[in-house]
Structure 1
Amino acid sequence: MTNTNWNPGSPAMKTETENYIAQAVKNGIIQESHLKDLQNGTMTTDRLMGLYITIQQRKNK
């Protein structure tokens, strides 16, 4: 199984995802390195899904 870099094909989806990750960084939920990886195109789809789950779990505590 290969890790595929996340490429939504939609500028709006990319912007909304970046805003979501940036807010999680601002709130101290995840590290800024995740946002940098999203911005520079090295974020994989698998990792992004894992981050989403992690953010949701940490927000609900």
Structure 2
Amino acid sequence: MTNTNWNPGSPAMKTETEYFIAQAVKVGIIQESHLKDLQNGTMTTDRLIGLQITIQQRRSK
């Protein structure tokens, strides 16, 4: 299986995802490097899904 870079094709989806990740960085749930990878186009789809799960789990504690 190859990892592909996340490319939603929708500017609104990209904006909302960037906001979601930025908020998690702001409150210290994940590191800023994840946001930078999303912004520069190196975030893989698999990694983004994993981050979503991690953020949700850490917020629920």
Q: State the TM-score, normalizing by the size of structure 2.
A: 1.00
Counterpart Cα distance in 2 of 1:20 and 1:57: 14
Paired residue type of 1:57: Q
Alpha-carbon distance, 1:25 to partner: 0.0
| Structure 2 segments unaligned to the other structure (5+ residues) | none
Residue identity (%):
89
Counterpart Cα distance in 2 of 1:50 and 1:4: 14
Q: State the TM-score, normalizing by the size of structure 1.
A: 1.00
Q: Segments of 4+ in structure 1 off by > 4 A?
A: none
Aligned residues: 61
In angstroms, what is the RMSD of aligned CA positions?
0.2
